[in-house]
Amino acid sequence: MASKVLLGFVWASALVAVAFAADPFAHFDWDVSYIHVSPLGVKQRVIAINGQFPGPIVNVTTNWNLVINVQNNLDEPFLLTWDGVQHRKNSWQDGVLGTTCPIPAGWNWTYQFQVKDQIGSFYYFPSLNFQRAAGGYGGIIINNRPVISVPFGTPDGDITIFIGDWYNHNHTDLRKKLDGGQELGMPDGVLINGKGPYQYNTTLVPNAYDYETINVNPGKTYRIRVHNVGVSTSLNFRIQNHNMLLVETEGTYTVQQNYTNLDIHVGQSYSFLVTMDQNASSDYYIVASPRFVNESIWAKVTGVAVLHYSNSKGKASGPLPDPPNDEYDKSFSMNQAKNIRMDWGEWTENSRGQYNKWDGVSRCTTQVFPGAWTAILVSLDNVGIWNIRTENLDTWYRGQEVYIRIVNPEITNKTELAQPDNTIYCGQLSDKQQPPVHHKGSSDSLIMGASVKLLTFLSLIASIAIFS
């Protein structure tokens, strides 16, 4: 079932194997608080997990049970969602309004769910209040059990890259703008792993920012997992002089195909295998540049990191590798999307007959091009209340989402887990809430949103506009 899930991870915590349903448990302790960083030269408060921005990577194996304590040390309610991770039978842990009440400031809340029947690359992020624009995200790697094979050899290394547009205004200021009916306008930059661009051109990048360096060894093949965690900008991702062999998107193995660049829309995750087969005469650029905009106006809004071979003979210099030359022609991007398996034109009832029913990919985030449509087959095999939404943060904030309640008429808890003991109550049920056991004072207000439990939506309108 398409939904969003969030995970936490504690570096120091051991993985404790317990005999419950024979599947191991992994425990994480997360402290969510603000730290100050200046990715684009402007000092701002971002949301860190255990002091890290981006947050730690949750590296687990399918069927494991995850237990994640989240201590909210922000000054506002917080909720993590686990993008695309299927916490089967357990929408209580989905971490979006409508299924889970926010963790009030100062409170500690524990998520517990099993990552079931799933392998691949995902990420977690804050689902409330535009907080994703301030960080709070991190990677989720779900490995295969040894008995399950995957369609490629074990890579020599595993690298996670977050790309995303970024504003020098913080998320509370951005929220105010949207509340006031304004658009957010052009972002101030694109961050790669929370860092500003490498100074490849002193006009376009006037300051020498701290930039991301990916260290590799010659001749080795790495699995590179790329997530677009931004607000709303589609990004073209490329690595100078290197082929990227696409192997997975959000838990589905794709037709394997080489790309020199690929469009990655907000909310999407891809894995590539990249072989370090160049002569390392210099470092190489890693680029994430905006798509479907006037690239000369947006040239400053480009993420640039560095791929550094251990035998590199010098710094990267010169122009960036070119983006696809199709500024306002979306067919390139659409062909890429269609190659990965998706149609174009006006959707009609007849289009139903043309759906790619046999090798459509299963994924949790799909793009809808302006004037085009994408059909989503949602298999209603997971009871509970689930959220279907646009991943573009500004339109999601303005309400572009829908909840569906999937019920099993049989009276059994075999298909839907019972409400967890630690459920937080809010909205119309807030009077059921007992004082928390663990909390650090600050604001205990539970007034958040409307009644968020037991919402029943009778109709499903899957109108998901990725482009506003």
Strand 138-143 relative to strand 58-61, pairing? parallel
Supply the DSSP symbol for 177: H
Phi, psi (5° rounding) for residue 384?
A: 130, -170
Of 147 and 461, nearer to ligand NAG (C-beta) is 147
Taking the least distance from each CB to ligand NAG, the nearer of 71 and 269 is 71
Region for residue 358 given its phi and psi (left: phi exceeds 0; alpha: psi -120 to 50; beta: otherwise): alpha
Distance CA 280, CA 290 (A): 27
Task: Supply the minimum distance, in Å, between the C-beta of residue 350 and ligand NAG.
Answer: 34
Q: What are phi and psi of 431, to 5 degrees?
A: -70, -10
C-beta of 47 vs 466, nearer to ligand NAG: 47
Q: Nearest approach, Cβ of 141 to ligand NAG (angstroms)?
A: 6
Measured from the CB atom, the residue of 281 and 331 that comes closer to ligand NAG is 281
Question: With respect to ligand NAG, which residue has the nearer C-beta, 24 or 427?
Answer: 24
Which is closer to ligand NAG, CB of 355 or CB of 444? Answer: 444
- For ligand NAG, give the closer residue by CB, 50 or 395: 50
Report, in Å, the least distance between residue 345 CB and ligand NAG. 24
Taking the complex as a whole, how short is the minimal distance between the CB of residue 435 and ligand NAG, in angstroms? Answer: 14
d(CA 118, CA 376): 19
Nearest residue (CB) to ligand NAG, 69 versus 228:
69
Closest separation in Å from C-beta 88 to ligand NAG: 13
Nearest partner of 21 among 120, 116, 119, 144, judged by Cα: 116
Q: What is the rounded CA–CA span in Å between residue 60 and residue 24?
A: 10
Tell me how far apart the alpha carbons of residues 334 and 329 are, in angstroms, rounded to a whole number.
9
Backbone angles phi, psi at 66, to 5 degrees: -105, 135
Smaller CB separation from ligand NAG, 2 or 190: 190
| Minimum separation from the CB atom of position 446 to ligand NAG (A) | 18
Amino acid occupying residue 259: Y
For ligand NAG, give the closer residue by CB, 125 or 390.
125
Helix (H/G/I), strand (E/B), else coil: 457:
coil
Residue 181 beta carbon to ligand NAG: minimum distance, rounded to whole angstroms: 19
- How far is the CA of 346 from the CAs of 124, 338, 351, 371, 373, in angstroms? 34, 16, 9, 7, 7
* CB contact at 8 A, 308 and 215: yes
CB 109, min distance to ligand NAG, A: 8
For 384-448, the DSSP string reads: EEEEEE---HHHHHTT-EEEEEE--SS--SSSSPPPPTTPPP-GGGGGGPPPPSSB-SS------
In whole angstroms, the minimum distance from the beta carbon of 247 to ligand NAG comes to: 10
In whole angstroms, give the CA distance from residue 235 to residue 375: 23
Binding site for ligand NAG (CB under 6 A): 45, 59, 69, 71, 108, 110, 141, 158, 170, 172-173, 201, 203-204, 243, 245, 256-258, 275, 279, 281, 294, 296-297, 299, 319, 327, 413, 417-418, 438
Give percent helix, percent strand, percent coil of the chain, each to the nearest 5: 10, 30, 60
Q: In angstroms, give the least distance from the CB of 439 to ligand NAG.
A: 7
SS3 308: strand
Amino acid at 462: A
